[in-house]
Amino acid sequence: MSNPQAQALVRLAALFADGYPTAKLQANISKSQIRLVAPQGANPFVLNLVSAFRQEKKLSPVHLVITATGREAEELALALHELDPNAEVLEFPSWETLPHERLSPSPETVGKRVRVLQRLHELQESKAEHSVYVLASIRAALQPVVAGLGLHKALNFEVGKDYLLPELSLKLVELAYERVDMVTRRGEFATRGGIVDVFPTTAEHAVRLEFFGDELEEIREFSVSDQRSISGDALKSVELYPAREVIITPSVAARAREMQHEFPNLSTMMAKISEGIPVEGMESLAPVLVDAMVPFSSYLPTSSAIVLLGPEKAAARAASLVETNEEFLHAAWDAAAEGAKTPIDLSRGGFIPIKDFLSAIKEHSLIEISQLPSGDDDELSLGLLEIPNFTGLEMKVDQWLDDQLKQGQQIFITMPGHGTAERLAEKLAAAGLAGVTVLQAQFRKGFASPDSKLILLTEADYYGKNSSYISPKAKKLAARRGAAVDPLTLKRGDYVVHEIHGIGRFVELVSRTSGVGGNRHEREYLLVEYAPSKRGQANDTLFVPTDHLDLLTRYVGGEAPVLSRMGGSDWANQKGRARKAVRKIAIDLVKLYSARMHANGHAFGPDTPWQREMEEAFPYVETQDQLNTIEEVK
């Protein structure tokens, strides 16, 4: 964001704070529990104001902000960054799996969670001098975590320091990084002589550590899609966070060894854990393997504030989570515990009921911000209003803006993209609404503050549609094209398909030198064998440079294929027959769908909690047409 943009957003926050009659809120901010009423769009501004008041009262600047869903937490993180660039915003994601589900969370999720826990441990030892927001969905906040995860520092590598390579590999294995031939995913590492490739759980790109002897000479990021270094400055250091929340310590291995005989149906799983080998789904056994499980709130510094946004929605979500997880507990572990002398007790790892969670946070202040007034005497309404929906109103949005400008209101409209913000500014100026300030910012909803004479609209408010907001979690790693060839996994005789020449047989990976004099250079090639151009002659061969691997894919057919002839028409004819077959399949599908249109349907039941979880996990904002289609299908 440019400086004028940043200054305008800071001015927007200041206008909200200066014009609002804050005396009552400031007087109540030291209470152990308060309830505020404000529209959802004002939440980032209210949090910013609450943080400022708490710092004036010399209270802890750390806030655990609990939202109903993970997407709301992501959106709030962007808004808080916009309003206060100096604030520290930590996102604590939930597992993609349930606590009792026999599946492991992704290394990326684990790395982010452990990084937050370690940062909170640091804040317990040294007080922060700026606002700190820890954002967590109700799902993440109610799940107990392993005690002591914040005590272990991240594994740090710095250029110029000495490291023993065998010891380095052992440390990575202890952090549950998987050793592979070629790094492609987070939580993996590979070693080749004096080079160690590792993909940190919290990084966007993998890194290559190059050693000269024991000295770390260089750290560079590289792309997993082609294994090439990414242009840019080399890194000075890199931090590695664990890939699993249950680290197999000697005590964990000892408990697994004991349980191996106590629970016969789990003997295979426990045997691997006892030998230090991570097992898929072992996190669900954390309650019986680790020393203690504690509520997430126990990691917070003393006197921190816990802010619950939309408490009604969060409570309903929490009840659904507890019920669903109980079903998984019995479905996943009842059969596994059969034949044991004592039942396996995993209850400590399940979601904590929200009432128990809130009753256990006596040392922290609780601030509820709701959109719905309850009528309680101690409730404080902030006097903020939602932006009207102009879709069904006779008054158009530009007319309403003109009317508000005449009444002395200061109006801001935010757009997520630079281009859309510029176009809207030009449109408003042409309509005689030059008094409206258009900013580029990621706010989901707006609000009106009559006391501050301030109105904020977003793209969704102005155009009457969902914002084009895209979750920052939706960024995907560059993936290899189709069933792309990994040269390190190819064996002699494996079949491959060249985009131009067709089906061939891999022979070997070779190095060849080309050029003359000082321009000589060496390149690696894949030697691929094709059918002979004439009968009785030797097979033709093709040298494919390793930087042209995008032209090759693995052959995935069921039977051994016939090799193509280079330069012949075989491959072109084969592709032509495949296109005709695809067209025939398409025609058959059209006929099938036509028949289905005239067939009797089946009425499905209402949405289950699992269905709602799947929908809320979708990382993008649906268009109105998509929402209509979803409802019509249901």
The burial class, CB within 10 Å (0-12 / 13-18 / 19+), for 389 is: exposed
Whole-angstrom distance, CA of residue 493 vs CA of residue 528: 9
β-strands 365-370, 305-309 pairing: parallel
User: Cβ distance 414 to 441 under 8 Å?
Assistant: yes
CA angle 124, 127, 128 (to 5 degrees): 115
What is the torsional sign of CA 215, 221, 227, 229?
A: negative
> What are 257-291's pLDDT values in tens digits?
988 888 777 888 889 999 988 888 889 889 989 99
- What is the distance, to the nearest Å, from the Cα of residue 197 to the centroid of all Cα atoms in its chain? 23
Q: Is the pLDDT of residue 339 over 70?
A: no
Q: What is the pLDDT of residue 622?
A: 74
> What are 363-388's pLDDT values in tens digits?
899 999 999 888 787 789 888 999 98
CA angle 343, 348, 351 (to 5 degrees): 125
Whole-angstrom distance, CA of residue 250 vs CA of residue 244: 16
Write out the DSSP string of 200-226: -TT-SSEEEEEEETTEEEEEEEE-TTT
Q: Which residues contact 607 (CB under 8 A, 6 or more apart)?
A: 634
Average pLDDT over residues 217-230: 89
Percent above pLDDT 90 for the chain: 42
User: Cβ distance 85 to 7 under 8 Å?
Assistant: no
Q: Is the pLDDT of residue 442 over 60?
A: yes
Write out the DSSP string of 363-431: TSEEEEEESS----TTEEE---BPPP--TT-SS-HHHHHHHHHHTT-EEEEEESSHHHHHHHHHHHHHT
One-letter-per-residue 3-state SS of 141-192? HHCCEECCHHHCCCEEEECCCECCHHHHHHHHHHCCCEECCCCCCCCEEEEE
User: Cβ distance 618 to 473 under 8 Å?
Assistant: no
> What are 80-98's pLDDT values in tens digits?
998 888 899 999 999 988 8
pTM of the shown model:
0.73
Percent above pLDDT 70 for the chain: 90
Whole-angstrom distance, CA of residue 61 vs CA of residue 55: 6
Q: How confident is the model at residue 549 (pLDDT cuts 50, 70, 90)?
A: confident
Most distant CA pair in the chain, distance: 97
Q: Is the pLDDT of residue 623 over 50?
A: yes
- 438's tokens: 């258009």
Q: What is the pLDDT of residue 613?
A: 57
Q: Is the pLDDT of residue 480 over 60?
A: no
Q: What is the pLDDT of residue 314?
A: 94
Whole-angstrom distance, CA of residue 466 vs CA of residue 200: 35
Whole-angstrom distance, CA of residue 541 vs CA of residue 530: 6
β-strands 495-498, 552-554 pairing: antiparallel
Q: What is the pLDDT of residue 486?
A: 72
Q: Residue 531 gets which letter from DSSP?
A: B
Average pLDDT over residues 537-547: 83
> What are 234-244's pLDDT values in tens digits?
899 999 999 99
Can you list the positions of beta strands (E) in 223-337? 237-240, 293-294, 305-309
What is the torsional sign of CA 500, 505, 509, 513?
A: negative
If residue 65 lies in a helix (H) or strand (E), which one and from where to where? strand 62-67
Cα separation of the two ends of the chain: 42
Scan for tokens 């989901």, then name that residue: 444
More confident position, 17 or 204? 204
> What are 135-165's pLDDT values in tens digits?
999 999 999 999 998 887 899 999 999 999 8
User: Cβ distance 162 to 215 under 8 Å?
Assistant: yes
Scan for tokens 């560059």, then name that residue: 478
Whole-angstrom distance, CA of residue 618 vs CA of residue 461: 22
Q: Is the pLDDT of residue 482 over 50?
A: no
User: Cβ distance 564 to 573 under 8 Å?
Assistant: no
Q: How confident is the model at residue 479 (pLDDT cuts 50, 70, 90)?
A: very low
- 373's tokens: 């007034």
Mean pLDDT of the chain: 85
